[in-house]
């Protein structure tokens, strides 16, 4: 009789399992059902992906339900979700368009902040000119804020041993490796496509640094619908 552990059964409803590992260890979805987790979300990445999967139109979804659903897919319970975002750029003499955009942003943030399970971390938006002398907008300090929160997990959440990161940024590799040394595993939710002209890519360095990863799909957004009164 073969008593060796099976990492992944032949039939499973969990599409996010890694096919196997050298040790043949069982997937944690069988062992740690509904353990608490934290979900860290790069809002710029998530927003860009929703527009791409929506064929040019931003998918409308509930950002409170979304991280909870992602955690459940890993048999984890999201007790806190962190959104990292930058408010829209405001020039010294704000235009009407800038003011309207800021008003919409403030309403969006205020709705999220009504939920105690959501934490918002705001960077800032910088306006630059590209080689064609056109204005482009870049987020600043957002990655630093996320990194700081990740490093504070052992202090603020000592019982958390698995976290979920929604991003595609390889800049987080060093902190992921540091957390690994503190016995905190990172599950990455990202998106990438193969091909020279792919609009989304994720570095192999990031993929290799995490405990496991899964690709976000359109259904992940659709499974977190906004309530009718929230849809505008």
Is 198 part of any domain?
yes
Residues 30-62 as b/e (b if ≥16 CB within 10 A, e otherwise) read eeeeebbbbbbbbbbbbebbbebbeeeeebebb
Is 29 part of any domain?
no
Q: Assign 3-class secondary structure to 139-156.
A: EECHHHHHHHHHHCHHHH
**Per-residue pLDDT tens for 120-163?**
998 866 555 556 656 555 665 689 999 999 999 999 999 999 99
Is 23 part of any domain?
no
Alpha-carbon gap, residue 79 to 145, rounded angstroms: 19
pLDDT score for 123:
80
Q: Does the model's pTM come out above 0.85?
A: no
The total of structural domains in the chain comes to 1
Tokens (6 digits) for 204 = 């192999």
Structural domain of 175 = 35-230
Alpha-carbon gap, residue 125 to 21, rounded angstroms: 42
**Per-residue pLDDT tens for 64-88?**
999 999 999 999 999 999 999 887 7
Is 69 part of any domain?
yes
| pLDDT value at 17 more than 50 | no
Q: Is 227 helix (H, G, I), strand (E, B) or coil?
A: coil
Domain CATH for 202:
3.40.50.1010
pLDDT score for 134:
62
| pLDDT value at 5 more than 90 | no
Alpha-carbon gap, residue 166 to 189, rounded angstroms: 5
Is 28 part of any domain?
no
Is 3 part of any domain?
no
Is 107 part of any domain?
yes
Is 7 part of any domain?
no
pLDDT score for 22:
36
pLDDT score for 154:
96
**Per-residue pLDDT tens for 162-218?**
999 999 999 999 999 999 999 999 999 999 887 666 677 778 899 999 999 999 999
| pLDDT value at 27 more than 70 | no
């Amino acid at each position: 009789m073969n008593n060796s552990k099976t990492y992944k059964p032949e039939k499973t409803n969990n599409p996010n399992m890694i096919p196997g590992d050298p040790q043949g260890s069982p997937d944690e979805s069988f062992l740690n059902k509904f353990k608490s987790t934290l979900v860290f979300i790069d809002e710029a990445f998530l927003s860009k992906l929703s527009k791409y999967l929506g064929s040019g139109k931003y998918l409308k979804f509930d950002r409170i339900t979304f991280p909870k659903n992602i955690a459940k897919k890993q048999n984890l319970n999201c007790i806190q979700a962190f959104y990292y975002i930058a408010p829209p750029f405001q020039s010294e003499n704000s235009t009407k368009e800038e003011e309207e955009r800021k008003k919409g942003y403030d309403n969006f943030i205020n709705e999220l902040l009504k939920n105690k399970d959501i934490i918002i971390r705001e960077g800032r938006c910088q306006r630059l000119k590209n080689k064609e002398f056109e204005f482009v907008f870049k987020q600043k300090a957002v990655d630093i804020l996320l990194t700081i929160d990740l490093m504070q997990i052992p202090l603020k959440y000592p019982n958390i041993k698995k976290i979920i990161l929604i991003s595609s940024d390889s800049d987080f590799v060093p902190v992921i490796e540091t957390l690994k040394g503190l016995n905190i595993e990172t599950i990455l939710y990202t998106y990438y496509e193969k091909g020279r002209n792919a609009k989304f890519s994720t570095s192999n360095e990031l993929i290799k640094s995490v405990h496991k990863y899964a690709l976000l799909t359109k259904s992940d957004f659709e499974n977190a619908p906004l309530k009718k009164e929230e849809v505008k």
